[in-house]
Amino acid sequence: MRSRTPVTSDDSRAHPAAWIREMVRLKPATMPVGHMIRSGIVVGGPFVVGVLIDDVLTGMWIALAGLLLAAGERAGTYRLNFAIVLISTPIAATGYVLGFLQHIPWAAMILVMVALALGCGLIAGLGPAFSVAGMQFLVIASIAIGASSISNWWIPLALYFVGGIIYAALLAVEMVIAPRRPQRLALQEMLHNLAGLAHARSADLRDGGDRCGAAMGACQSARRTAVTRIAELTVPGTDSLRTWHLTSAVIFDAERVEALLIGERSVSAVDAVARQLDALTTVVSAEKEATSTTATESATSIRGGPSPRPSPLEQSMTELAEAVRHGHDGRMVRHPVTVPAIGGEVVAAAGRLALCFGIAVAAKLYFPSTHWFWVPLTVCLVMKPDFGSVFSRAILRVLGTIAGAAVASIIIVVVPKGLGIGIAIGLLAAAVPYLMLRSYALQAVAITPVVILLIDLISPGTESVNDAWQRIAATVLGGAIVLVFGYLIWPHSRQAWVAATFATATERIAAFLTTAATPIPEDGRTAAERHTALVSARRTAYRTLSDLDIRMQRALSEPPPAETVARAWIPAIAATSRLADAVSAYADDRVNADAPPNPAGAGVVAAVILQLGRGDSPDPVEVTDDRLSAVAAGVNTLRATLHHDGDRDGEESR
């Protein structure tokens, strides 16, 4: 079946460089101070100590472990990052064993490395710790098979464990100093974005605008992050000092407030909730006790006057404030470190990684440089299957390497070899955690001079040797291998695949609508089961919309046809998001008993939604139920967007 790609009123062909601008766009980020300090110490410290005690090689091996662990640390919980250190360190260190195979026939070496790269790609599906471990193993293996001056590889293997122990110790220090920092930041971001949604909803109610779409996306992302922060490691003696709590109840109440805000029609009620959320955000960020006046407004202020009973929005907001302040329902939901998710997409990505890595290892036969191993090293850094667009990473890594090589050249010319180089390495390593949040290219800008200076520091003699041009040439070659053999020859990888995700999103929205339209049972237990199903349907629908947006944003940073298709989908995705909000508002009306059950009418509308998801051209939907009219209007708007002028240009195969 072929699915029509919607045509935008702003023809993407008029913006040939739009995908380039999207690819090089810097992401907003807050400086991870603890991560930066840790990275600078664990990488620069061993170099400096090695220079001072005249044992630079030992310091280099320890610092290399620190650099890889710093680059592999995730913006998650201490629990996750300790798991990454615990799992990745032994796996990565094992890569040094490959150094003992340097003298086997090179055809056999290529086959061995292809098999290992395939395995590393497959274990990425087991979770972030194994994904980081696989990448680090290939980096170490590339160095081990390429550095012929080392005879005893057991020494760097053992020193890698020393670097891992030092890194874990520094991470433990931060956890003792700020044990709840990951939770606080996640809760603060979730409340801040929820307040942003309330302000956007208030503005829309006043002038009829459409600001809630972006705010909803931010709320979804922040809540997903908060879910991963619930089960943090605890430090004895800190619980008694809590002035706020992040629990499953807090996240559930936040999601409930989000849903009710979309359906709320009272500006005063929305404004009151916005003020409460602003106050709660301040409480969490300031780490101080919330008072009754700052954390929870009176029921009268939300309702706008006396009322016999609180509204659902008021009740949910009160429950959220109380859960944040007192930690009601503190169930710990421990997400496993490993998840068996090796599906078809992971297998395909692992296969492409193995092919490209084998070609890169063969570079020893044709690349005229003693540092040929930078070619496979580049391939494994670019092609890890969970890091986003392969095309974008290849281009950005080449650009970042060129800039980083220039930085290294300046440092080598200006800074004398020895202690000064070690300090420069520490400063550059400290910048890596922040730059990797801003852009993959900026990450390469910082890491490249660290690697070049590393080679310079262990080179014999008192004068610095500039290997920048070799690094650039190897990176360009590695990037070219990735682009050709990991991207261009695979039509599957060059498609945006937005239409497939769009079809799934429409299915979820249709299911959400049909669940909302069912009668509310009189029996309390049955009613609770229906409510649970409704909440699950809403969560699934918005989660799929979030996946749709992520896939579109990733495709926007790639060249046509992926970028062209993704840009054409922008209006349709926006219309789909508004349709989901209309369904959410209808569901709130049903919960509040403001709308009667109407399974038949909702079924008609849901059927049209499903047809649109399949790429069909249904007639405009008409309903007699006033409460369903907003949903029907959203469906008709989506239909008009998908079939604008009947144009079939830019079709994408599913």
Is a pLDDT exceeding 80 seen at residue 493?
Answer: no
Give the amino acid at 226: A
Q: How many CB atoms lie within 10 A of CB 465?
A: 14
pLDDT of residue 164: 95
Least confident of 289-293, 472-476, 484-488: 289-293
pLDDT of residue 554: 72
pLDDT of residue 356: 92
Q: What is the DSSP code (8-state) at residue 626?
A: G
The predicted-structure confidence for 366-402, as pLDDT tens digits, reads as follows 887 777 888 998 888 887 655 456 777 778 878 888 8
CA distance 231 to 80: 10
pLDDT of residue 117: 93
- Which pair of tokens denotes residue 296? 């929870």
- Strand partners for 2: 653
Q: How many CB atoms lie within 10 A of CB 631?
A: 30
Token pair 């004398």 is found at 416
Three-state DSSP class for residue 113 = helix
Least confident of 42-56, 224-238, 270-284, 333-347: 333-347
For CA atoms 501, 506, 508, 509, the dihedral sign is positive
CA distance 504 to 57: 54
pTM (2 d.p.): 0.77
Give the amino acid at 210: D
Is a pLDDT exceeding 80 seen at residue 616?
Answer: yes
Chain centre distance of CA 639? 31
- Angle between helices 312-326 and 267-286 in degrees, nearest 10: 10
| Beta-carbon contacts of residue 449 (< 8 Å; ≥ 6 apart) | 404, 405, 407, 408, 411, 424, 428
User: Mean pLDDT for the chain?
Assistant: 81
Three-state DSSP class for residue 125 = helix
283-289, long-range: CB < 8 A, 24+ apart? 283/243, 283/244, 283/324, 283/325, 284/184, 284/187, 284/188, 284/191, 284/244, 284/324, 285/184, 285/188, 287/184, 287/243, 287/244, 288/243, 289/243
Least confident of 398-407, 486-495, 594-603: 486-495
Do 435 and 492 contact (CB within 8 A), yes or no? no
Least confident of 115-129, 141-155, 295-309: 295-309
**How far is the CA of 382 from the CAs of 242, 357, 371, 478, in angstroms?**
42, 11, 18, 9
- Which pair of tokens denotes residue 88? 């990745």
| Beta-carbon contacts of residue 598 (< 8 Å; ≥ 6 apart) | 517, 625, 627, 628
Three-state DSSP class for residue 3 = strand
Q: Between vectors from CA 251 to CA 245 and to CA 255, what angle results, nearest 5°?
A: 145
Is a pLDDT exceeding 90 seen at residue 328?
Answer: no
Q: How confident is the model at residue 343 (pLDDT cuts 50, 70, 90)?
A: low
- Which pair of tokens denotes residue 22? 């999207």
Q: How confident is the model at residue 239 (pLDDT cuts 50, 70, 90)?
A: low
Quick one: which H or E segment has residue 339?
none
pLDDT of residue 645: 39
Is a pLDDT exceeding 90 seen at residue 170?
Answer: yes
pLDDT of residue 3: 45
pLDDT of residue 300: 43
pLDDT of residue 155: 93
Is a pLDDT exceeding 80 seen at residue 306?
Answer: no
CA distance 124 to 128: 7
Is a pLDDT exceeding 90 seen at residue 525?
Answer: no
Query: Does 361 or 567 have the greater pLDDT score?
Result: 361
HSE (side-chain half, CA atoms, 13 Å) at 70? 36
| Beta-carbon contacts of residue 241 (< 8 Å; ≥ 6 apart) | none
Task: Report the candidate in 90, 96, 94 with the shortest Cα–Cα distance to residue 165.
Answer: 90
For CA atoms 484, 490, 493, 496, the dihedral sign is positive
Average pLDDT over residues 201-205: 87
Q: How many CB atoms lie within 10 A of CB 116?
A: 19
Least confident of 39-43, 121-125, 343-347: 343-347
- Which pair of tokens denotes residue 433? 């955690």
pLDDT of residue 466: 56
- Which pair of tokens denotes residue 480? 């070219």
**How far is the CA of 86 from the CAs of 82, 229, 242, 597, in angstroms?**
6, 19, 29, 54
Query: Does 4 or 185 have the greater pLDDT score?
Result: 185
Reading phi first (left if > 0) and then psi (alpha if -120 to 50, else beta), residue 645 is in: left
Quick one: which H or E segment has residue 132?
helix 128-146
pLDDT of residue 298: 40
- Which pair of tokens denotes residue 445? 């800008």
pLDDT of residue 304: 47
Query: Does 422 or 1 have the greater pLDDT score?
Result: 422
CA distance 442 to 44: 19
pLDDT of residue 182: 87
Is a pLDDT exceeding 60 seen at residue 123?
Answer: yes
Q: What is the DSSP code (8-state) at residue 560?
A: T
Do 643 and 4 contact (CB within 8 A), yes or no? yes
Give me the percent of the chain exceeding a pLDDT of 70. Answer: 83
Three-state DSSP class for residue 203 = helix
The residue count for the chain? 654
Average pLDDT over residues 156-178: 94
pLDDT of residue 288: 52
Query: Does 303 or 450 have the greater pLDDT score?
Result: 450
**How far is the CA of 642 from the CAs of 421, 442, 520, in angstroms?**
58, 38, 34
Three-state DSSP class for residue 653 = strand
Is a pLDDT exceeding 90 seen at residue 255?
Answer: no
